[in-house]
Chain A
Amino acid sequence: MAEVKQADDGVQIDLISGERMEGMASMEKIRMILDGVHEGNIVILEEGLSPDEESKLIEVTMTEISPDEFNGIEIETYPKGDTADSGLFDRLMGKDPETKKLTVIGPANQIETLHKDETLISALVSRK
């Protein structure tokens, strides 16, 4: 992640490549995401998280919520499409389409989803 300092009147956006995430352990990914979000950044993951990582992300987020400081996260991915053709074989080959979806995560009090469907996520981001 480029260490761009957040300007007073701007919002930092971190676009994290699938390649960068590949070598990371689940908890490292979650830490990286939540550290960014705590600073008021919008974190965009090129390839998203696995269901297990999403579950841990929710769990860790809950433990970090603190009144008047941190309300939690807003997270958006595209809704899952037709999974009829993603069999066990694809999963074994690591080709699970559900885990390869662009994911946007931000502080709950700064990001609001305006519209979302299978192919489009539209969000409003406000300053801290």
Chain B
Amino acid sequence: MGLITDIRDSISRSIASLFSAEDPKRIGIYGPPNAGKTTLANRIARDWTGDAIGPESHIPHETRRARRKENVEIERDGKSVTIDVVDTPGVTTKVDYTEFLEHDMEKDDAVRRSREATEGVAEAMHWLREDVDGVLYVLDSTKDPFTQVNTMLVGIIESQDLPVLILANKTDLPESNIRRIENAFPQHETIPLSALEGDNMDEVYDKIADYFG
């Protein structure tokens, strides 16, 4: 009995190590449009691999395809965790191309941007149900976090039992309000940061290692 259990344990351990060696956890960066997801993804990728993931922009729906950076090896206290970072399009329930016209865009380009955005959001929702092992939920801490999209997405993430960290981004801005985000999601850990300035990234990496390592 003891021997069989031992063997079974050692087999499952070697399977586990096989998987952890070849299958890094896939961490999805989710959140509403313009929260700073790509800025964060680029910072993580640049800090640990040297290159970026994709373009950042003040115009919402800059990211319209989920993009993945594989095998990002993060070192913490002599240990290392390897993750795949997936930057996703900002999730929304509506896209109105006329809003892009305000950003000096031609109608054709605005319509194309909105079509790509809707495809990207659909894809991101699909990924969330099937293909991610953990979530970094990024919020702009200068904005009200009590939105329907945030409530639904965090609910969806919880219903899948995925580990999630709430990131209160843009703390460099004077209107940043971290408490408001902590109060909105008291059941989760909130970490303040500025992805743009690189403030508090050490804590972000510590927690990534804790949660997803």
A67 on the interface (CB 8 Å rule)? yes
Q: How far is the CB of A89 from chain B (nearest CB, A)?
A: 15
B125 on the interface (CB 8 Å rule)? yes
Interface segment, B34-42, B148-156, B202-210? B148-156
B5 on the interface (CB 8 Å rule)? no
Partner of A58, one of B91, B96, B154: B91
Apart from A59-B121, A75-B152: 19 A-B pairs, beta carbons within 8 A = A51-B156, A51-B158, A55-B125, A55-B128, A58-B93, A59-B125, A59-B126, A61-B93, A62-B95, A67-B115, A71-B94, A71-B96, A72-B92, A72-B118, A73-B93, A77-B152, A80-B154, A83-B187, A108-B94
- A1-57 CB contacts (< 8 Å) to partner B: 50-52, 54-56
- Tell me whether A55 and B156 are in contact in the complex, defined as CB-CB below 8 angstroms, given that A72-B93, A79-B151 are known contacts: yes
Q: B119–A62 contact, CB under 8 A?
A: yes
B146 on the interface (CB 8 Å rule)? yes
What total of A-B pairs shows CB separation below 8 Å?
Answer: 89
B190 on the interface (CB 8 Å rule)? no
B8 on the interface (CB 8 Å rule)? no
B122 on the interface (CB 8 Å rule)? yes
| Interfacial chain A residues near B152, Cβ < 8 Å | 51, 54-55, 58, 75, 77
| Interfacial chain B residues near A76, Cβ < 8 Å | 148
Q: Report the separation of the CA atoms of residues A73 and B96 in the bound assembly, to the nearest whole angstrom.
A: 11
Chain A, residue nearest B119 (CB): A62
Q: How far is the CB of A120 from chain B (nearest CB, A)?
A: 12
Question: Which 5 A-B pairs give the minimum distances between C-beta atoms?
Answer: A72-B94, A51-B159, A108-B94, A62-B122, A62-B118
B201 on the interface (CB 8 Å rule)? no
| Interfacial chain A residues near B121, Cβ < 8 Å | 58-59, 62
- B126-164 CB contacts (< 8 Å) to partner A: 126, 128-129, 146, 148, 151-152, 154-156, 158-160
The number of residues on chain A lying at the interface, defined by a beta carbon within 8 Å of a beta carbon of chain B, is: 32
Q: B118–A63 contact, CB under 8 A?
A: yes
Chain A, residue nearest B115 (CB): A67
Q: B119–A52 contact, CB under 8 A?
A: no
Chain B, residue nearest A117 (CB): B146
Could you pull out 16 A-B pairs where Cβ atoms are within 8 angstroms?
A55-B129, A58-B91, A61-B94, A65-B94, A67-B97, A71-B95, A72-B92, A72-B94, A74-B148, A75-B152, A77-B148, A79-B151, A98-B155, A113-B148, A116-B146, A117-B146
B169 on the interface (CB 8 Å rule)? no
| Interfacial chain A residues near B146, Cβ < 8 Å | 79, 116-117
B52 on the interface (CB 8 Å rule)? no
- Tell me whether A58 and B125 are in contact in the complex, defined as CB-CB below 8 angstroms, given that A63-B118, A75-B152, A77-B151 are known contacts: yes
Q: How far is the CB of A76 from chain B (nearest CB, A)?
A: 6
| Interfacial chain A residues near B171, Cβ < 8 Å | none
